[in-house]
Structure 1
Amino acid sequence: MSEPVLLVELSPDCSILRVNPGGLSLLRTLDGPLHVVAIFGPKGTGKSFLMDQLAGQEKAFCPVPGIWLQCLQHPTKPGETLVLLDTQGLPEQVEKDEKAVFFKLFLLDVLLSNVFIYNTSGDGDLQKELDRLIYVTELPSKVHVLEDCPLENSFLLSSILPEFAWCLRNVTSDFCWEEMLQATDNNMDTLLSSPAALEDTPANFILRLFPARKAFCFHSPHVDGEDEDIFSSDLLHPVFQRQLGLFREYILSKGPKTFLGNTLVNGEVLSGLLERIVDVLSRDEPILMSDICGDAEVAFIWQEGYENFPEPVIDPLQGAPAQKETPRISQPSAQETKVPQHSSSPSCAVPSRAQSSIMEGPMCLIENKPGENLQVSQKALSILQNIQEPVVVVAIVGLYRTGKSYLMNRLAGKSRGFSLGPTVEANTKGIWMWCLPHPKKQGHTLVLLDTEGLGDVRKSNVKNDSWIFALSVLLSSTFVYNSMGIIDNYALEKLHYVTELTEHIKVKASAGQSCDKNDGMPDDFIWFFPTFIWAVRDFTLQLKLNGRPISEDEYLEFALERTKDAPEKQDLAKKCLRQYFPNRKCFVFDRPASRQKLEYLDDLPEENLNPDFLEEACRFCRYIHENAQAKVIQNGHVMTGTLLGCLAVTYVDAIQSGDIPCIENAVLALAQIENSAAMQDALRRYDEMVLLLSTLPTESVEELLRLHALCEEEAIKVFLARTFKDEGQEYQRQLGHQLHSKFEELCRQNEQASQDRCQAVLMELFEDLEETISRGSYSVPGGYQRFLDDREEKLKQYHLAPEKGLMASRALQEFLNSKETVAQSILQADRTLTDKEKEIEVKKVQAEASEREAQLQRQMREQAKQMAQEAERSYKEHEKQLWAKMEEDRKKMLAEHEKVLTQKLQEQARLQREGFQQEVAVLQNEIQNLRHQMNQSKRRSWCVIA
């Protein structure tokens, strides 16, 4: 094994790359196939540590400038050489003059290796980490395989680039758990597939250019989770150790470096390639691989590309595709070949999640058929229930023919989707749903709900308008009300649905919740209702008040100002909006186009739309994408698509039965579903951890208990991360019982594995002794002593045999007991011993057997004591994590109380200015009750599991 040497160095001003003669000389000495692994990534992510692990050494690589080389005999493939390239790390902020240097280092890593590792942190924003690899987007423009080639260069590049491995370090979130267990096929696509994987992003270029991809996720290296020096610490976390082993095994299993086909690369070829690439880079020219490698060596790419490139799609208006000449190469001969010209991505590129969204188009979620009750579509429900990630739910309601669907299509990033309809007839019936990857929040799904237009005079079941309005409020995290013109008395009268919410929604199941809508309205809605956005379309006024410009939000608040002499219906709408929706925002839109063009709005190019309308529409979408929060229920528990589907069913079932949808009942129903799922997740995680960490049999009870404790701790974390409203910790108790049962089964498996191992060792060791006995070799004078000597030797070998586990003593005792009759026969057959000596020997054997049995009993008592201690430890672990969970929930609740208190104080001050003293007094009582609850929460001593 060689020590690492500098291969590519930087000039003092870090502007020029140079090949170090020492590294080049070492490279040239390498014969036979080479396995070239290069690593690239941000500073401080442990790149050198990973390379040392591949080399099977403690610490050799150092994070220094340039590219460092180490060559060693391949650990698993005799006669082949492992070549490791460690590259200096990217700083947190790459200066403008540094970008060109890092691109050159990146380019060398990619072109020289057969496995390229991108190493980053995995506990933060993965999109941000991926965006730091911006250099990959320059590959097609800076590296050309063939000159004057009609085939797309990206496709040709993909045939010569290495396997791309993304290593995510210190992963703490659950999304990568499967990858922490093993390097699964296609997991790279899951990590790369995000709404941000658009045409010009690193994710898209990786998908297009690197057909072979793999992702590896690593647990924090240390058991205590502290940020220690991973090079010197020997206290590595078992999960990290196991994942590290899987990573090393996978990387070392890859084939050797080949170039342009099946030609194996040796040190001479690789060094020549390095020199020529660095020479071209020094001139800041694009790299033409046919010049770097020679025309003869790239000739096969032409044939491969021609055979594999997709067939042309012939446009009937354009005729047949144009014919192009063959590329400028020496071999094969320059015969003309007809090749289609393509501008699209090659078929070998794997589509990202953004390119194939969860739903290609919207579908009806809640059906509103004439003469029938509302009902949930089972097809749409099945889609929702398959979404396991948090959902950001945006619903839009408003009068029919006011352009709601157009805004939702803009939010979806599409020109078509939700039906617009060009006539005065309402087009959308019921509530339609469109689920898409969220364009800004990784790991979230954007759920758009477009509702049937309110107030359609041709509608046969007008009573369902109020239910659709109420359901939109209950299901969404952001609620958009869409109206035309301005916010005036007429507009507020049309918003009478908000004044009827107390008739269609109740918070608690207890009696007395339904109250008169004219006074005493429950203030509990504030805890559950979404953010309210008023979208005012075809707005014609200037946003000015008393001669000064105002914002849209100020305009909304001015419109919601109350006066004592206002009509009751109008004042009630203002009162309800302010009380139920303290989080409010407003957007005003110009008319999008002339009236004649509105009929074709979904087909109009953007250049034909009103620029002011476009600007406001973009601002509206940007605000929703960046600020709309995931749907939550009690104590901030984030809802998934699965829970949203269950919520829709619960509310619609209540409506069908003639009841008022009750938030408390819905939360209880969801809690049962979520808590059961949380328990199953926890048990599954326990099994995964056991599979990952266990090597049965264990050598001691302590080792088995440590294994169980680690797996149980992880399982409880998984459970508490998902559970909510587990009244009396019923589900956590069930989890405790089931984890104990799993531990008992693990103990049985461990004992059986130990028993099987011990029996196998004993059978192997005593096989020749049994043959000697069967031949009668010990049934001679002095044979008994020979038998004892031979047996003692076998017993010594047995005690030295590794990995026998906990049952070693018991298995030996049972084995010796089963052979005692044979031993006695040999003893009695030995004529050199007197009867007295034989009697003494029998007693001696009995005493030894008794001592072994006594020792076994002591071991069993000690194990029983350890098991009792384990039960106490398990109880305390449940208690500790539950305490932490309750404390976290308490802090969340206090934060929510603080937020509501602030909103109530602001509303109280506003009512005071408007002169509503009676309402001020009512609100003061609510504020005092809220402060009392907050003080109780701050002093509360939380109960734990009994």
Structure 2
Amino acid sequence: MKPLCLVEPVPVSGALRVNPTALDVLQSLSCPLHVLAIFGPCGTGKSFLMDRLAGDGEGFPRSPGIWLWCLPHPTQPDHTLVLLDTEGFQEQEADETKLSQLFVLNVLLSSVFVYNTRGEDNPQRQLDRLTYVRALPQMVRVLDECSWENSFLLSGVLPDFVWCLRDVAPDPCLDEMLEAAGHELDSALSSPQDSEDSPSSCIQRLFPHRKLFRFCSPQAAGGRGKPLSPAEQLHPTFLEQLGRFKDYALSRRPKAVVGNRAASGEVLAGFLECVVDLLSRDEPILLSEICGALQPEGSDCSPRHPPDPAGGAPPSQDAPSAAQPPLPEPQVGAGPGARDEPVCLVENHPGRELQLNPSALALLQSIRQPVVVVAIAGLYRTGKSFLMNQLAGQARRGFSLGATIQSHTKGIWIWCLPHPCQAGHTLVLLDTEGLGDVEKGNAKNDAWIFVLAVLLSSTLVYNSLGTIDQYALEKLHYVTELTERIRVKAAGEGGQKKGEDSAEFVRFFPAFVWAVRDFSLQLIVDGREITEDEYLENALKRRQGQPEKLDLPKKFLRQYFPSRKCFVFDRPALACDLSRLEELPEAALSPKFLEQARLFCSYIHRHAGPKTLPGGHVVTGTLLGSLAVTYVDAIRSGAVPCMENAVLALAQIENSAAVGEALAAYEELLGQRAALPTESVPELLELHALCEQEALRVFMARVFKDDEQRYQWQLKDKLDLKRSELCGRNELASSDRCRAVLMELAEDLEERLQQGSYSVPGGYQRLLDDQQAVVERYQLVPGKGVMAAEELQQFLKSKETMAQTILQTDKSLSDRQREIEVERAQAEAAQREARLLQETQARAEQQRQDQERSHEDHVQQLMAKMEEERRQLVAEQTGAFALKQQEQERLQREGFHSEVQQLKQQLQSLREEMNRPRPWPSICVVC
């Protein structure tokens, strides 16, 4: 096919519209798409460069809008190359809005975005012309609710940024310098004068994968400026530069829209229509909503390939064979974060600090269910990933296995699955980089990866080979460094918090499971068969005379982990088959290993609890993502992660969200139940109370550590405002209804007044009779609402002047009769005003009583919440006390009398803390 106009500006309004013909072409493409878009100033050779990608000759017409050209991908069969050529912008462009929209479309539609400029001017000045990049985070958001900067999330979904600097004189020295720098674009543009809002800074913040290509003139110097015919020879240097650019552009991964899955033409077309519609209405583009709308029913948001942290092409993988077992079917309400493949959550690159992968973080943020987080740690090449795949029910796919002596997993990888045993929960598996790799590029990150596994998990599996002996315990030295790398409470005025003991750590730390792999011994001690748990506890016995350094892993394991469990595993297969475990059918695996793995998986699935915070608050995927951000940011800044600070920061985020969720629940229920106007104020207030109780229930289920009730009173203020708004809406609906009824009933009366039918002798009495008939019929009409009396009063007052005129001209009445009628009318009007005042005061009193009822409801809910938190705190302290007592008894038996005395002091402190009365906070502020 030849190029077609895909998006064009409407001639009069300048708004963008999609060409239906081009859209049909795009929708017909069912294979993965590689979308390369180009954007830049006029006269820089954009169309010429795109034509060279498509082949020789001219194709793109150099016309307004965005033009589409679909071609078979030259290097990847069954893929399509989609080229987007956009009109160039002038040096002084009048329609900045249209160009901003075209820029946003190019960025969101492409997998590779090319910014094309001429290199004759100052390169920095050419980049500064790309001012549209500054508005990108304001125009496009990834999530509606996010606890970190939108730019950070955007950086995980934006395409590769390629700067093509055209017509640059060849400079071998500069080329060599840029190549050696590794990141050519940053090396060429880094400037200490750049502000945070400069295009250069925005590009570096928003586009993690950047590349610079420099091109000389495509023809000899004497021919520059003239059109280049297909027959003319291109400059050899230009051809070489063009070849490098094509190789890079064609090797990038396909375009992804829904989750991280390669997008088909139908999905990309739907995405385009949604974005253009939002741009035309000047509304922000919320990617999570668009992707949710485009998600096919019953499918997930899984990537076909794990994201490549280094920015390279995805590894080639064969399609799963028919013999491979399918993933378990997602349970109802499994949440949007379920994936059929793991993704990298924490990246660990040689020579760099740990950093979070934005796309994996966004995945975690989308999970609103409680999460059961199982992390595995241990030495490299000990089979951690294989064991985690068993836990996921996927023996032959999932976490990637290595087949050599080198460490395979880097950083921390995450896999989110519907929990097989706990409905409404998500199972989150964390596979960590192997510890102790001699070839590791950044060995200091070993301890931090272990720390993150402890902080993020609800169950920590430590994986080792052989037996639990002194050598194995020495390799677990990371547990002895936890107190140096984790702070439970915030630092005091004098620096770091002192005096923290194991009781405080126990409240935060996960359950501990030791998986002993390739275990070939018999579980027999002194001629008696023992259990695996007894084997672990026996190995952790401390013995007098042992050097303190060797004794520390036992000491800290016993002190810091609230529960311990042990599983031993036979070798999974013959030695010659261990390098290809992913390929082996289940029949080729050791039956004993399979039975041991089944018991291990069954225990984890049934006994591993959801991740919780002190106080018993259950962690969702959203909160777990926020925790990961807090901890990794602290590690990157050189600080010691503080669990108390992390929980407090998390509470602020969660409690703000709880207020929003509660108000949304109020509005949802009100929309289902409200039928305005109501007949009475009590009926309306009963509806409000019902919706308020639902909002309060939703809020209390999510809020935690709102010690000063700041967020609860914030919610109450907003709900009080909702009550006022609801009463106002009810009164307005009632007024509208009453006026419509009166207008219809008084239609004949108005017509007679206009015709002068009452301006005759006896007309005044006829007018009174007709008005009374209207009033009586009005009183019989149902559904008028709370403003019925007031609107009737307004109607009758509007007729008073006309009635007095008719009264004065009615010749059938004497002067005395007229005086009597005037007095009667005034008395009736006064009576109606008095009744109306009484009704208004009654409504005000009913609303005041409802406010008292609301206050009492909030206080009762608060007291119940605080009582629940008290019980949870007592349970945690009781559990810590029991563990301390057990440890004291063990130390007493083992003869560590000095440590027994220390434990006695800690137990006394715990006992005092448990018995200390806790006053109820003041709650009269809402009275």
Smaller-chain TM-score bracket: 0.5 to 0.7
1: CA distance between counterparts of 2:333 and 2:838?
61
Match of 1:586, SS state, is: strand
* Aligned 8 A contact 2:510 2:562 in 1: no
8 Å contact from structure 2 (residues 502, 559) kept in 1: no
Aligned-residue offset at 1:580: 0.4
Q: Does 1:716 pair with 2:702?
A: no
Matched position secondary structure for 1:702: helix
Q: Distance in 1 between matches of 2:423 and 2:916?
A: 37
Name the counterpart of 1:426: 407
CA distance in 2, matches of 1:820, 1:922: 92
When residues 588 and 514 of structure 1 are mapped into structure 2, their CA distance, relative to the original with a 3 A threshold, is: farther
Task: Say if 1:503 and 1:514, in contact at 8 Å, map to a contact too.
Answer: no
Residues of 1 paired with 2:835 and 2:331: CA distance? 65
- Helix, strand or coil at the partner of 2:422: coil
- 1:451 corresponds in structure 2 to 432
Paired-residue identity, %: 59
Q: Decide whether aligned partners of structure 1 residues 355 and 772 sit closer, same or farther in structure 2, where only a CA change above 3 A counts.
A: closer
**C-alpha contact 2:375 2:429 (8 A) present in aligned 1:** yes
Separation in 2, partners of 1:636, 1:870: 33
The one of 650, 658, 678 aligned to 1:670: 650
Deviations 1:872-924 (A, max 9, x none): 22111110111111111111222222222211111111110001111111111
Three-state SS of the structure 2 residue aligned to 1:599 is: helix
Q: Aligned residue for 2:449?
A: 468
Q: Which residue of 2 aligns with 1:505?
A: 486
- State the alpha-carbon separation in 1 of the partners of residues 625 and 346 from structure 2: 11
| Equivalent AA in structure 2 for residue 670 of structure 1 | L
Deviation track 1:75-131 (CA, whole Å, cap 9, x = no partner) reads xxxxxxxxxxxxxxxxxxxxxxxxxxxxxxxxxxxxxxxxxxxxxxxxxxxxxxxxx
TM-score for the superposition, normalised by structure 1 = 0.62
Change (3 A) 1:607 1:352: farther
Q: 1:520 to 1:679 in 2, by over 3 A?
A: closer
| 1: CA distance, partners of 2:491 / 2:720 | 38
Aligned residues: 607
Map residues 270-285 of structure 1 onto 2, 5 A cutoff. Answer: none
| 2:744 corresponds to 1:772 | no
> Aligned pair 1:699/2:674, yes or no?
no
* 1:882/1:944 contact within 8 Å kept: no
Q: Is 1:746 paired with 2:754?
A: no
Partner residue in 2 for 1:98: none
Instruction: Quickly say closer, same or farther: Cα 1:355–1:852, change in 2 above 3 A.
Output: closer
Distance 1:502 1:879, change over 3 A: same
Aligned twin of 1:620: 600
Among candidates 655, 658, 680, match of residue 635 of structure 2: 655
Q: Please report how far the alpha carbon of residue 686 of structure 1 lies from its aligned counterpart in structure 2 after TM superposition.
A: 1.2
What corresponds to 2:522 in structure 1?
Answer: 542
Q: Distance in 1 between matches of 2:720 and 2:334?
A: 43
Counterpart Cα distance in 2 of 1:426 and 1:666: 31
1:682 aligns with 662
Runs of 5+ consecutive residues of structure 1 not aligned to the other structure: 1-184, 194-314, 319-343
Q: Do structure 1's residue 582 and structure 2's residue 562 form an aligned pair?
A: yes
Alpha-carbon deviation of 1:942? 6.1
SS in 2 for 1:727: coil
Contact 1:509 1:662 in 2 (8 A): yes
Q: Deviations over 1:328-349 (max 9, x none)?
A: xxxxxxxxxxxxxxxx99xxx9
Q: Are 1:371 and 2:371 an aligned pair?
A: no
Q: 1:590 Cα deviation (Å)?
A: 0.8
Work out whether 1:478 is the aligned partner of 2:459: yes
Listed as ranges, the matches of 1:68-147 within 5 Å are: none
Partner-residue secondary structure (3-state), 1:822? helix
Cα separation, partners in 2 of 1:413 and 1:355, compared to 1, 3 Å: farther
Does the C-alpha gap of structure 1 residues 353 and 523 become closer, same or farther in structure 2, counting only changes over 3 Å? closer
Per-residue CA deviation, residues 763-792 of structure 1 (Å, 9 max, x unaligned), is 010001111222222211111111111111
Who is 1:553 aligned against? 533
Distance 1:462 1:664, change over 3 A: same
Corresponding residue for residue 730 of structure 1: 710
Distance 2:566 2:330 in 1: 41
Q: Tell me the secondary structure at the aligned position of residue 416 of structure 2.
A: strand
Structure 1 pair 695–847 and aligned structure 2 pair: CA distance change class (3 A): same
The aligned residue for residue 376 of structure 2 is 396
Q: CA deviation at 1:836?
A: 2.2
Q: 1:351 to 1:865 in 2, by over 3 A?
A: closer
State the match for 1:495 in structure 2: 476
Tell me if the contact between 1:690 and 1:707 (Cα under 8 Å) persists in the aligned partners.
yes
**Cα 1:391–1:520 shift into 2, 3 Å:** closer
- Secondary structure of the residue that 1:564 maps to in structure 2? coil
Distance 2:698 2:460 in 1: 32
2:360 corresponds to which of 375, 380, 386: 380
Q: How far 1:732 sits from its partner (Å)?
A: 0.5
Q: Residue 524 in 1 paired to residue 522 in 2?
A: no
Q: Which residue of 2 aligns with 1:883?
A: 863
C-alpha deviation, 1:707, in angstroms: 1.5
Amino acid at match of 1:710: L
Q: Deviations over 1:835-884 (max 9, x none)?
A: 22112212221221122112211222222222222222211111011111
Aligned partner of 1:932: which letter? E
Provide the C-alpha distance between the structure 1 equivalents of 2:691 and 2:334, rounded to a whole number of angstroms.
36
> Does residue 614 of structure 2 align to residue 629 of structure 1?
no
Q: 1:917 and 2:906 equivalent? A: no
Task: Give the 3-state SS of the residue equivalent to 1:758 in structure 2.
Answer: helix
* Residue from 386, 393, 404 that aligns with 1:413: 393
Aligned to 2:887: 907
Q: Alignment partner of 2:398: what SS?
A: coil
The offset of 1:513, in angstroms, is: 7.9
Partner Cα separation in structure 2 for residue 878 and residue 620 of structure 1: 45
Report if the CA contact (8 A) 1:651-1:661 is conserved.
yes
Contact 2:490 2:497 in 1 (8 A): no
Spell out the pairing of 1:145-156 with structure 2 (5 A cutoff).
none
1:422 and 1:599 in contact (8 A); partners too: yes
Per-residue CA deviations over 1:543-575 (Å, capped at 9, x if unaligned) read 001101000100000000001211222200100
Matched residues in 1 for 2:609 and 2:889: separation? Answer: 28
* Structure 2 counterpart SS, 1:623: helix
Contact residue 879 and residue 945 of structure 1 kept, 8 A: no
Does residue 607 of the first structure (1) align with residue 587 of the second (2)? yes
Which deviations, in whole Å up to 9, do the C-alpha atoms of 1:164-188 show, x marking residues without a partner?
A: xxxxxxxxxxxxxxxxxxxxx99xx
TM-score by length of 2: 0.63
Letter in 2 for 1:881: Q
| Whole-angstrom distance in 2 between the partners of 1:703 and 1:515 | 56
Aligned to 1:728, what secondary structure does the other structure show?
coil
Q: Secondary structure at the match of 2:443?
A: coil
Q: Does residue 1:598 correspond to 2:575, yes or no?
A: no
Distance 1:515 1:786 in 2: 91
- Counterpart residue number, 2:811: 831
Secondary structure in 1 matching 2:916: helix
Letter in 1 for 2:364: L
Residue 578 of structure 2 aligns with an amino acid whose one-letter code is L
1:356 Cα deviation from its structure 2 partner: 10
Give the structure 2 partner of residue 864 of structure 1: 844
Change (3 A) 1:744 1:353: closer
1:645 maps to 2:631: no
Which structure 2 residues correspond to residues 5-20 of structure 1 after superposition, within 5 A? Answer: none
CA RMSD of aligned residues (A): 2.7
| Between 505-514 and 598-607, the greater mean CA deviation after superposition | 505-514
Q: Which amino acid aligns with 1:896?
A: E
Partners in 2 of 1:498 and 1:514 — Cα distance?
20
